Amino acid sequence: MPLPDDYLVYPHRAKGPDHDRYDASPYRERPPIALPGGAKLGVWVTVLVEFFPLNPSGKPFKAPGGMQTPYPDLRHYTTRDYGNRVGIYRILKVLNDLGVKANFAVQGAVAERYPVLIRDIVGDGHEICANGWDTDSLHYTGLDPAVERTYIADTLNAIEAASGARPTGWISPARAESFDTPDYLAEAGIAWFGDWAHDDLPTAFRTKSGTMTALPLSNELDDWQILIEYKRPEEEWVLQVTDAAALLRAEADRFGPQILSMVVRPYVTGQPYRIAPFKQSLKTALAQPDARAVTADGILGMAG
């Protein structure tokens, strides 16, 4: 099929990215950031706390981890639920053992269904941020803007009701956005979000309602990517986290403090055979000189 003439028209062919959210910026040319306690390597753990409906619409695509077999997919539903019942308490224990405070990115549906879990997370001193309503309430272009705003408001309301505090951080379900999601998030009072993977450091992100901070939430090192998508054994995951920590720590001496982001899912990392490797990788990263655990609020408070 022939292509239209305008297939070779390039409306955004100009300096910088082809959107107006941020400018080009080689990371080595920026002023160094500061991290809490003068840390050189901030180890930022984010736990995704998701709800997977048994009857997903799959629109506009099926979220990673969603139901796979014909209805009723009890096998995947209960495996994901295992994460929120058992696995997450294993992760909490590791974090307590190591004295690590983390971010728990909670979906509104989880806050509504399991408020006791939210109280336990808060009780352990962790920081809550929002992860959208559920894994079948995806943000995408074509979704009615009113519906998208409702997803955001319902999520923040449900988390506030369960935790007593309104979240100021956000990660979209499946890290999926419409063209306008950042504008709606800023409008709803969100200060930072973690959907974009364009940097290793926090960056300013323009919206119609002011500037948000895009935090460098890892995609390539996260448990789903390495253990499920790439099917690597746990010991390789540990090595990769170890190598990443060493490289970032070395760069910190030259370019200022760096952030190592680790993203885990309770139904993946919270399995009995994976929890010790998780603890091992966390310990190894924290063993770098001047490394310490950081949360999003800690990064933002000092990053300006």
Partner 1 sequence: MHRDPNLYDYWPYRDRPKIVWPGGKKLAFWVAPNIEFYEFDPPPNPSRKPWPRPNPDIVPYSLRDYGNRVGHWRLMEAMDECGVRGSISLSIAMLDHHPEIIEACVARDWEFFSHGVYNTRYSYGMSEEQERAVLEDSIRSVEQATGRRIRGYLAPALTHTEKTMDLLAEYGFWYTCDLFQDDQPQPIKVKSGKLISMPYSLEVNDTITYGTYAMSPRAYADALMRHFDQLLAEGDESGTVMCIPLHPYQVAHPHRLAPFREALRYITGHRDDVWVTTAREIAEFYNANCYDQTLADIERRGLARPGSGFSGAAA
Give the residues lining the site for partner 1 (CB under 8 A).
1-3, 6-8, 10, 12-19, 24-28, 60-61, 140-142, 172, 175-179, 195-200, 219-221, 229-232, 236, 239-241, 243-248, 260
Closest approach of partner 1 to the CB of residue 94, in Å: 20
Give the Cβ contact number of residue 282 at 10 Å: 25
CA distance 201 to 213: 10
Closest approach of partner 1 to the CB of residue 140, in Å: 6
Give the Cβ contact number of residue 18 at 10 Å: 9
Closest approach of partner 1 to the CB of residue 37, in Å: 21
123/231 with CB nearer partner 1:
231
DSSP one-letter code for 105: E
- As to burial, measured by CB atoms within 10 angstroms (0-12 exposed, 13-18 middle, 19+ buried), residue 13 is exposed
Closest approach of partner 1 to the CB of residue 194, in Å: 11
3/116 with CB nearer partner 1:
3
SS3 204: strand
5/123 with CB nearer partner 1:
5
Comparing CA positions, the residue from 87, 167, 69 lying closest to residue 127 is 167
CA distance 95 to 101: 7
Tokens 């736990």 — which residue?
A: 47
Comparing CA positions, the residue from 50, 65, 44 lying closest to residue 260 is 44
Comparing CA positions, the residue from 298, 304, 300, 301 lying closest to residue 100 is 298
238/296 with CB nearer partner 1:
238
Closest approach of partner 1 to the CB of residue 82, in Å: 25
Closest approach of partner 1 to the CB of residue 239, in Å: 7
| Residue 207, φ and ψ in degrees, nearest 5 | -135, 175
Closest approach of partner 1 to the CB of residue 104, in Å: 21
Comparing CA positions, the residue from 296, 44, 49 lying closest to residue 190 is 296
81/195 with CB nearer partner 1:
195
SS3 296: helix
Closest approach of partner 1 to the CB of residue 124, in Å: 28
162/171 with CB nearer partner 1:
171
152: left (phi over 0), alpha (psi -120 to 50) or beta: alpha
What does each C-alpha distance from 5 to 12, 14, 234, 293 come to in angstroms? Answer: 17, 20, 50, 53
